[in-house]
Amino acid sequence: MQIAITTTTVSAHPHPKPLVSLLRPSPPHRVRIHPFSHRLSTTASAMASSVLPPPQQQQLTITRPDDWHLHLRDGEVLAAVLPHSARHFQRSIVMPNLKPPVTTTARALEYREEILRALPPGSSFTPLMTLYLTDTTSPEEIKIARKSGVVFAVKLYPAGATTNSQDGVTDILGKCLPVLEEMVRQGMPLLVHGEVTDPHVDTFDREKVFIERILAPLVQKLPQLKIVMEHITTMDAVNFVESCKEGHVAATVTPQHLLLNRNALFQGGLQPHNYCLPVLKRETHRQAIVSAVTSGSRQYFLGTDSAPHDKRMKECSCGCAGIYSAPVALSLYAKVFEQAGALDKLEAFTSFNGPDFYGLPRNNSKIVLRRSGWKVPATYAYGAGVIVPMSSGNTLEWLPSDQPEE
Ligand SMILES: NC(=O)N[C@@H](CC(=O)O)C(=O)O
């Protein structure tokens, strides 16, 4: 374990007094802890130690993370959002659901060039390109993709499931079997948006039903296919992933599905900025995925699903699905792992399990997260408008350093 943790040196009082008597206002005994030095600032330090929580980690140094599920878009939006991902992540799996979608290696190469041109000067961020699977993708295209060295996976969008999925697959086993067999031969992972599109299936059950109707039969038919179940949201998905062989089936998990349940969609009125697909689920599901990712299992890794949409497209009569989390994701993941008492498992989730699954080297450089409050901007501007980030206007605790420390 390469995680470096800095802690305070405050020790617990051997005979703690009842909390209530210690909390009574008493000016001479008031204690302040400087956010950076962590020194007790009054002579009441002995008294204070009895009311302090256990020592807190103040700084985390972890291997630089990768984002294994990212929507970068193109044009002005790409230029605005790319620096946020490039600042914290070394590599990202770039989703291909542009308009029109990235269905060929030739198009993926062009898109990759566009991303590289939009990078801030000096950035070493590496986009890992993907192809958008359609009913007519050919096995030959998979061979070309593998040979290119820049395409790392193929994305399955069931037709009509989410943003720009209208050209997606209508019948994966009926239409795509030869392509999937070629992917097995090429060791090319299939990244799955795991929701059925059957309008008779309740929106909140679409992931569960997808597992039953499509994913389980697919794994049975092609057990050698490497599959990433993207942005899982349910206990059913956790159970499914864990029933599969490590190294063959894995899952990405977003910050929103770890921190929010479906109440967040309706708190005080309709909350369009908490709307994404798959939609947030009930609390028991959230707890199941938190337990899964903080357990230390190698089958889960970081995938933000950061999906920017113009504010006007979110706040309208038929709002788009997608939450923009790139600037805040790392702080939020740290919060989740800290709340679960599992900060020692954070690095494997952010930086090891993903490259290990994809058969890529782990990053060498580091990133530092400091316990230092920072306020998330209300919006981020781009050419034509603004994008509202997740946790907009809130203060977050863990501040990632902009520069990796070698
Ligand atoms: N997650 C979302 O709600 N939206 C994504 C598409 C996707 O991954 O479903 C988008 O591209 O906007």
Assign residue 209 the CATH number of its domain. 3.20.20.140
What was the pLDDT predicted at 4? 52
Are residues 46 and 124 both part of a single domain?
Answer: no
| Peptide bond connecting 217 to the previous residue in cis, omega within 30 degrees of 0 | no
Are residues 153 and 13 both part of a single domain?
Answer: no
Substitution site in 277, 281, 320, 388 for ligand 1 pocket (most atoms within 8 Å of beta carbon): 277
pTM to 2 decimal places:
0.88
Are residues 187 and 255 both part of a single domain?
Answer: yes
What was the pLDDT predicted at 52? 67
Closest CA to ligand 1's atom 2:
322
Task: Please state, rounded to an integer, the average pLDDT across all residues of the chain.
Answer: 89
What was the pLDDT predicted at 401? 84
Which position has the token pair 């699977």? 133
Q: What's the pLDDT band for 403 if we cut at 50, 70, 90?
A: low
Per the annotation, the verdict on 231 as an active-site residue is yes
Q: Is 156 helix (H, G, I), strand (E, B) or coil?
A: strand
17 in any annotated domain: yes
Per the annotation, the verdict on 67 as an active-site residue is no
Are residues 51 and 68 both part of a single domain?
Answer: no
- Token output for 189: 């992972």
Q: Can you list the alpha helix ranges (DSSP code H) found in 149-186?
A: 172-175, 177-186
Ligand 1: residues with CB < 6 A are 71, 97, 162-163, 193, 276-277, 305, 307, 321-322
Mean pLDDT of 380-385: 95
What was the pLDDT predicted at 57? 79
Tell me the residue type at 362.
Answer: R
Phi, psi of 132 (to 5 degrees): -90, 115
What was the pLDDT predicted at 232? 98
Are residues 110 and 153 both part of a single domain?
Answer: yes
Per the annotation, the verdict on 38 as an active-site residue is no
Q: Are strands 91-94 and 395-400 parallel, antiparallel or unpaired?
A: unpaired
Domain boundary among 55, 84, 99: 55
As for how many domains the chain has, the answer is 2
Are residues 245 and 291 both part of a single domain?
Answer: yes
Mean pLDDT of 47-70: 81
Are residues 4 and 97 both part of a single domain?
Answer: no
Are residues 33 and 173 both part of a single domain?
Answer: no
Are residues 22 and 140 both part of a single domain?
Answer: no
Q: What's the pLDDT band for 384 if we cut at 50, 70, 90?
A: confident
For 236-261, the pLDDT digits (tens) are 999 999 999 999 999 999 999 999 99
Ligand 1: centre distance to CA 94 (Å):
12
Q: Can you list the alpha helix ranges (DSSP code H) found in 119-248?
A: 139-148, 172-175, 177-186, 206-210, 216-221, 235-243
What was the pLDDT predicted at 163? 86
What was the pLDDT predicted at 238? 98
Are residues 250 and 370 both part of a single domain?
Answer: yes
389 in any annotated domain: yes
405 in any annotated domain: no
Select from 286, 406, 359, 346 the least CA-distant residue to 57.
346
19 in any annotated domain: yes
Per the annotation, the verdict on 205 as an active-site residue is no
Are residues 74 and 199 both part of a single domain?
Answer: yes
- Domain around 41: 1-55
Q: Is 382 helix (H, G, I), strand (E, B) or coil?
A: strand
Q: What's the pLDDT band for 306 if we cut at 50, 70, 90?
A: very high
377 in any annotated domain: yes
